[in-house]
Structure 1
Amino acid sequence: MLHKPDARDQTVAAPARIAALDRARTLITLLVVLHHAVINYSYFGNGDRMRWLGFDLVVLFNDSFFMACMFFISGWFVSGSLTRWGPAIYLRRRAWRLGVPFLVSIFVVIPIAYYPSFVRYHTAETTDFNFFHFWWHTITIGPWPSGAAWFLWVLLTLDAIAALLWAAAHRAIGALGQFIDTLRDRPMTAFAAFLAFTIVIYLPMRLVFGDSAWLVPGHYPLPIQTSRILLYAGYFLAGVGVGEAGLSAGLLAENGALARRWMVWLAFALASYGVILLLVYAHHNWISNFESPPLWWHTAYGLAFATFSAAMTFTVPAVFLRFARSSFRLLDAMQPQAYGIYLLHFIPLIWLQYAVYDPAFPAFVKFAIVFAGTLSISWALTVLLRKIPVVARTI
């Protein structure tokens, strides 16, 4: 019998998906796979002996924005989910969606993925090559890497903090959303505020800790880049505020002022990336003490990094919103499997790197094999795993 939906029906109903935002999230996943496939063949890396300097440009480009942008994107959907489910159910769902894959990753996926590295860099005379011996040594003694799964435990922690804030200080989140909503028709002001926010939460941490230090508790697989702790948390919180203001009609409106100025954000990003490259060149050629650059260099690099990160975080959604009616076949096809690809790609990635290590192929050929193979294998494996109902509900 037809009936008017009650309040509970309206609360629990899932919102319609916004293709442009799905594409933004899927693009970051694709960049993660690209980043991990190319880094082994970068000139200044320490992986394969076949290297190319051009790959360093890709690594530097990605590393300077993509994970911060991923946390920003993840925050978009928090407010709507908390509104529909409430903090307790929201946390239970996030624990299933993030916590379970994280445990499977660190106990199963990552040991399988890293086993070829163990075999290559240990001699038969000194090591027991039995996989289960390697697995036990990894989880009891270490090192115990987390691979790409580090993002999951950090995001789950931030989700828990967001749920706590929602329960204890909902008005504060509402006020943040209202503030962001006032900027939807003033995109330059919004960008200036976001850039200032980025500088405040990133630059002091970089000056104190540098940009290469990782915080790792013992040998447990719970790492996070020390200088970016506040950057990731801040971008996630900013994303929560954007979601609170509204996705389809707020700052991220398809025909909104932010989307219409996509070329402005891209220009800011390219200009600041050029400054980053200039500073890297200066570091390698003009600074006498390579291991300890002067304070001015660290400050300049931190400011350029913050500008690039903020500009790219505006550019990615703006481009997809501006061209929402256009076709993005690869991203649209990849979108349902993107999470599984992110979780599983380390297995084919490292095994393929191991397979092409000895042949004297050019660096680009090795990269092409690793990237295409990693993407296609992890994609196909995700499709197969998602035929299992409990897996499909998780990834």
Structure 2
Amino acid sequence: MSSISQTAAAADIGAAPKAKTRNPSLDRARTFLTLIVLLHHAVIPYTYYGHTDPTSFFGFDMIVLATDSFFMAMFFFLSGLFVWPGIARKGPLNYLSDRLLRLGLPFVICAFTVIPLAYYSFSLRNHPEIGFSEFWWNMITKGPWPSGPIWFLWVLLSFDVVACILYRLSPNMLDPINRLSLHGRRRPAVFFLVMLAVTAAFYIPGRIHYGAGSWFEFGPFSVQHGRVMLYATYFFFGAGIGVMNMDRGLLSADGRMAKVSWDWLVLALVPYYLMWVLITIKRDILGNPADLPDWYEGAYAICFTAFSVAILFLILAYFLRFASSGKSVFDAMQADAYGIFLVHYPIALWLQYWLFDFNLLPATVKAPIGFVLTVAFSWALTRALRMIPGAKRVL
């Protein structure tokens, strides 16, 4: 499942050039989220949900439930922060041209190279007689053609197109969100409640109608039906904050939000615990049915939304609090984070393929090995790719 200026969605995932309102906490948050993506993919084979390895560990289920409930939505939020000033500075057409280079080109390249390389590891396990060229051709011509984590790129590009259209209609369209952000410098709880209400209103109906596992799929273009509007709300909340005065609003380094970071932790833990309660009800009382009742989907969607917004505020508050604390461990990786996001998936899956036969190793050993090596190899490969002339314009 599953971005990104300097992380995956570290595509800003494709962030606009640094503006005066930008602060280092946002770059560090993006880099942190990129590592969370790699962690998610490193542990998911050893969970109840993924379980593509004979070993498992419940602690990894706890990680996957948390990460899957917020990290892609947060990537869209961070990606939206620089959209409005980018369009204002370059104009809609030039802005979209840059985004096509930054998002569209990597999507096409990855769809034809990175994704087939990644999923060939699954094919080799079940059909070792099929060579890569035959597997590649069948994927491209017959399907299925999964997108892996790169679905984020085309969806983000689609949101950018919508943002440009809205900007042409009215450059002031997102001003109410910006005013709410300015108010949020002193009263972040108000912004939190509004964002929670809006995201819930857009997510809950889709979750009830489509359920959790329904995906739109057309070739390598895919996205979860029930979450696409959730992602859109996060993106445009970010865009509204970034309209102007970002350094004086909700994301101000000296604002109220950064001073109450542990409150956000409590707000995140309660719905997270309730999601586990609902999962237990589904498995032990409802019998884990394929079609869940509407009341269940609605209750889970409420908890999911509350956790997602609260963990967003918690992470932002943490990085805002320590924005001026000198160098961060994430700083060295910032320039390479987008590339790491793009190339890591086949590395992660092939490492899991290699570790599969080490039956004596528990999941608590396999997953850390896979994570550390995925980070190291992805970073090294990205560094090498960025040395190619012109590659830094994309990576």
Q: Please give the TM-score of this superposition, normalised by the length of structure 1.
A: 0.92
Amino acid in structure 2 at the alignment position of 1:370: G
Q: Distance in 1 between the 2:213 and 2:331 partners?
A: 35
Number of the residue aligned with 1:41: 46
Contact 1:181 1:245 in 2 (8 A): no
Q: Distance in 2 between the 1:47 and 1:352 partners?
A: 13
Number of the residue aligned with 1:272: 271
1:23 CA displacement: 0.8
Alignment of 1:116-135 (within 5 A): 116-124=121-129, 129-135=130-136
Alignment of 1:39-78 (within 5 A): 39-78=44-83
1:288 CA displacement: 4.5
Contact 1:184 1:190 in 2 (8 A): no
Alignment of 1:1-395 (within 5 A): 14-16=18-20, 17-124=22-129, 129-217=130-218, 220-288=219-287, 290-326=289-325, 329-360=328-359, 361-395=361-395
Identity of aligned residues (%): 43
Contact 1:184 1:258 in 2 (8 A): yes
Q: Distance in 2 between the 1:300 and 1:311 partners?
A: 17
Contact 2:184 2:249 in 1 (8 A): no
User: CA, structure 1 residues 251+61, in 2 after alignment: closer, same or farther (shift >3 Å)?
Assistant: same
Q: Which runs of 5+ in 1 are unaligned?
A: 1-11
Q: Distance in 2 between the 1:14 and 1:339 partners?
A: 16
Deviates more, 1:203-212 or 1:108-117: 108-117
Q: Helix, strand or coil for the counterpart of 2:61? A: helix
Q: Helix, strand or coil for the counterpart of 1:255? A: coil
Q: Helix, strand or coil for the counterpart of 1:46? A: coil
User: CA, structure 1 residues 102+281, in 2 after alignment: closer, same or farther (shift >3 Å)?
Assistant: same
User: CA, structure 1 residues 378+80, in 2 after alignment: closer, same or farther (shift >3 Å)?
Assistant: same
Deviates more, 1:226-235 or 1:168-177: 168-177
Q: Distance in 1 between the 2:181 and 2:60 partners?
A: 37
Q: Once the two structures are superposed, what CA deviation does each residue of 1:35-85 show, in whole Å capped at 9, x if it has no partner?
A: 011001113423011111211111000011111111011101111211221
Q: Distance in 1 between the 2:287 and 2:120 partners?
A: 40
Deviates more, 1:64-73 or 1:288-297: 288-297
1:328 CA displacement: 6.3
Q: Distance in 1 between the 2:369 and 2:287 partners?
A: 39
Amino acid in structure 1 at the alignment position of 2:150: A
Q: Which runs of 5+ in 2 are unaligned?
A: 1-15
Q: Distance in 1 between the 2:128 and 2:340 partners?
A: 32
1:376 CA displacement: 0.5
Number of the residue aligned with 1:5: none
1:98 CA displacement: 0.4
Deviates more, 1:204-213 or 1:174-183: 174-183
Contact 1:65 1:312 in 2 (8 A): yes
1:14 CA displacement: 4.5
Structure whose CA Rg is larger: 1
Contact 2:183 2:249 in 1 (8 A): no
Q: Distance in 2 between the 1:230 and 1:151 partners?
A: 13
Q: Give the number of aligned pairs.
A: 378
Q: Helix, strand or coil for the counterpart of 2:172? A: helix
Q: Helix, strand or coil for the counterpart of 1:216? A: strand
Contact 2:48 2:61 in 1 (8 A): yes
1:298 CA displacement: 2.0
1:289 CA displacement: 6.0
Q: Please give the TM-score of this superposition, normalised by the length of structure 2.
A: 0.92
Number of the residue aligned with 1:3: none
Contact 2:200 2:302 in 1 (8 A): yes
Q: Distance in 2 between the 1:225 and 1:363 partners?
A: 28
1:123 CA displacement: 4.8
